[in-house]
């Protein structure tokens, strides 16, 4: 990864920030993106303090034009793009019968369309350089989670997109990785949208007991270097995907039980 140019959407927090650190420490030149300029500037400063060549791009992945500007800026500053990590994402927590559809649409716009826009904007450069496109999906892209309809649907859609992309690019030398973390400590649950679109404000799960963002990023880095196509993380995540394949009805009951135990769970 030495001297490779890596764009990480949503690199100012959590898994994206940890990915910037691990790719940067292995010699890559980094562009991270995000909507909140203050968080982005702090994350860039942290990377630079670690001796990493990094820049920030203040933009919203759900706006197609921001993604084109992002790719243009990376080429202007670094001269090329080798790896895109489509990581920016948000989640929601509400029962389907109660959720305002604007919440589902926002989650789809960021998690699904955001990844498509970023990929299309970077694809000509990545094809030229025979690089990598990494989509950060989720276990929720293999097994739907109750009270996360919009989130699960966005990740199932992302998985379908990445599978087709990988196949379309089979003879182009482009590597496509679907990386699916399990529960990982980050800000995503604090920032989750509730049924009316307000921010949840705190995590309903024990973040301390989860995989760290740094460990998650190490796994994704290694899978990128090895040009793997699918990465499923955490023991619980691997078990859930396996169980759902062979025992889907049992998995319905187990998943319901796990999610109903969350603090203030909307499940009855």
Q: At what angle do helices 248-260 and 235-246 cross, to 10 degrees?
A: 140
99 φ, ψ (degrees, to nearest 5) = -75, 140
Q: Output 159 or 184, the one with its CB closest to ligand NAP.
A: 184
Determine, following the binding rule CB under 6 A, whether residue 8 of this chain makes contact with ligand NAP: no
- Binder to ligand NAP among 53, 60, 214, 252 (CB under 6 A)? 60
Interface with ligand NAP in residues 184-203 (CB under 6 A): 184, 186-188, 191
Question: Cα(54)–Cα(151) distance, rounded to whole angstroms?
Answer: 30
- Binder to ligand NAP among 1, 21, 28, 33 (CB under 6 A)? 33
Site string (202-221) toward ligand NAP, x via CB under 6 A: --------------------
Q: Output 54 or 136, the one with its CB closest to ligand NAP.
A: 136
**Overall size of the chain counted in residues:** 268
Q: Output 39 or 125, the one with its CB closest to ligand NAP.
A: 39
Question: Cα(17)–Cα(23) distance, rounded to whole angstroms?
Answer: 10
Question: Cα(24)–Cα(33) distance, rounded to whole angstroms?
Answer: 15
Question: Cα(122)–Cα(85) distance, rounded to whole angstroms?
Answer: 10
Give how many residues touch ligand NAP by CB under 6 A: 31
Burial of 26-35, coded b for 16+ CB within 10 Å and e otherwise, reads eebbbbbbbb
Interface with ligand NAP in residues 137-166 (CB under 6 A): 138
The residues assigned a catalytic role are: 151
- Hey, how many other C-beta atoms are within 10 angstroms of the C-beta on 48? 14
- Binder to ligand NAP among 13, 28, 203, 244 (CB under 6 A)? 13
Binding footprint of ligand NAP on the chain (CB under 6 A): 9-16, 33-36, 39, 60-62, 87-90, 110, 114, 136, 138, 181, 183-184, 186-188, 191
């Amino acid at each position: 990864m030495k001297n490779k140019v890596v764009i990480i959407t949503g690199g100012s927090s959590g898994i994206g920030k940890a990915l910037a650190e691990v790719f940067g420490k292995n010699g890559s030149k980094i562009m991270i993106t995000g909507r909140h300029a203050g968080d982005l500037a702090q994350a860039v400063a942290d990377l630079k303090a670690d001796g990493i060549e990094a820049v920030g791009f203040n933009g919203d992945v759900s706006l197609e034009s921001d993604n084109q500007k992002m790719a243009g800026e990376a080429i202007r500053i670094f001269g090329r793009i080798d790896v895109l990590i489509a990581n920016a994402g948000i989640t929601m927590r509400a029962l389907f019968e109660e959720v305002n559809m604007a919440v589902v649409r926002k989650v789809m716009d960021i998690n699904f369309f955001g990844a498509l826009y970023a990929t299309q904007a970077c694809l000509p450069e990545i094809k030229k350089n025979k690089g990598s496109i990494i989509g950060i999906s989720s276990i929720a892209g293999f097994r739907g989670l109750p009270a996360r309809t919009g989130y699960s649907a966005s990740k199932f859609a992302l998985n379908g997109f990445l599978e087709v992309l990988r196949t379309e690019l089979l003879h182009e030398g482009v590597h496509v990785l679907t990386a699916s973390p399990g529960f990982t400590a980050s800000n995503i649950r604090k920032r989750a949208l509730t049924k009316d679109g307000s921010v949840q404000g705190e995590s309903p799960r024990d973040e301390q007991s989860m995989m760290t963002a740094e460990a998650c990023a190490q796994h994704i880095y290694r899978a990128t270097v090895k040009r793997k196509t699918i990465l499923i993380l955490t023991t619980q995540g691997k078990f859930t995907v396996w169980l759902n394949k062979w025992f889907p009805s049992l998995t319905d009951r187990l998943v319901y039980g796990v999610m109903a135990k969350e603090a203030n769970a909307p499940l009855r």
